[in-house]
Amino acid sequence: MEALEQIKEKIQSFLEALDSPLTLELSKHLQSGKMLRSKLVLNIAGVNEESILLCAVIEMIQSASLLHDDVIDNALMRRSKPSINAIAGDKNAIMLGDVFYSKAFCELVAFSKEYPQIPHIISDSVVKLSLGEIEDVYLSQGFNADERKYLAMIEKKTAALIESTAFAAALLAKKSLNDAKKFSLYGRNLGMAFQIIDDILDITSTQEKLGKPILSDFKEGKTTLPYIYLYHSLQEEGKERLKKAFKQEISRDEMMWILENLKKSGAITRSFRLAKNLGEAGIESISDQSCNKLVSIMQEMIDRDF
């Protein structure tokens, strides 16, 4: 059986053990993603019982974070399908997320004896993820023009779990602590670059590929990196016009103005360059580890069109 299918079956067995038909029914509506974090684990630690368990735990944590994220963002679509909150309401989505978090932590305890650092590493990353979510909500209250605040937020909200996944997988593979930290740095940079590319694609991709309208981030109140770069390139009149469109249902004319200026200002190119630099630094951090597959994962993630 393919490793990714084994992970899905492991998660299913966890849910069935809860003896909750309602939870199982709600879980059927979850949309499976790229399983990036699992691919990291499998390529660092190989395919074995322990790595499959770690993947299942991390995928449950990721699913929980997305369930909560969709409620916070009032997002009614997830990967071109209705989100759980759209199907069953915010309360059920939040509680299902709580079930996934709690069950993941219960299963994480299995690593305590042989790999005592792993439960702490993963748990700490979930704390950071949650702090990043709080920062994201806070930043969305107004137009954020501070690049440092944006980068600090995505380092917690997106990169922390990917970083801890790579770190934990390296420990599972019995790498030295020094080498495990190299994988941790790779994971951090992968997570940062991943989010920046996601933010770019919200602007440059299509509704068909995104599963939601383009510029959704801006309309929802997220000042992502391209908009920050655009803002600082504009004259005062343009800055005010951009801020006025923030969190609004913008007209087609305003949308075209924003898209035209994002391109003309070089904001998208500059954002992509930062993602690429982060990716190259991540690859360099594991250059002595003979991990060609991780190099490919980084390159494919940066070059993807969705």
Number of domains comprising the chain: 2
* Same domain (yes/no): 109, 140: no
Please state the pTM of the whole predicted model.
Answer: 0.95
| pLDDT tens profile 267-276 | 999 999 999 9
- CA dist 167 and 4 (Å) reads 20
Range of the domain at 156: 124-301
Domain end call among 77, 92, 116: 116
Nearest to 190 by CA among 130, 277, 270: 277
| pLDDT tens profile 54-110 | 999 999 999 999 999 999 988 887 877 889 999 999 999 999 999 999 999 999 999
* Same domain (yes/no): 98, 134: no
- Residue 1: pLDDT band by 50, 70, 90 thresholds? low
What are the percentages of helix, strand and coil residues in the chain, rounded to 5? 75, 0, 20
Tokens of 46: 């190989």
* Same domain (yes/no): 13, 159: no
Question: Residue 219 is part of a domain; what is its CATH number?
Answer: 1.10.600.10
* Same domain (yes/no): 4, 61: yes
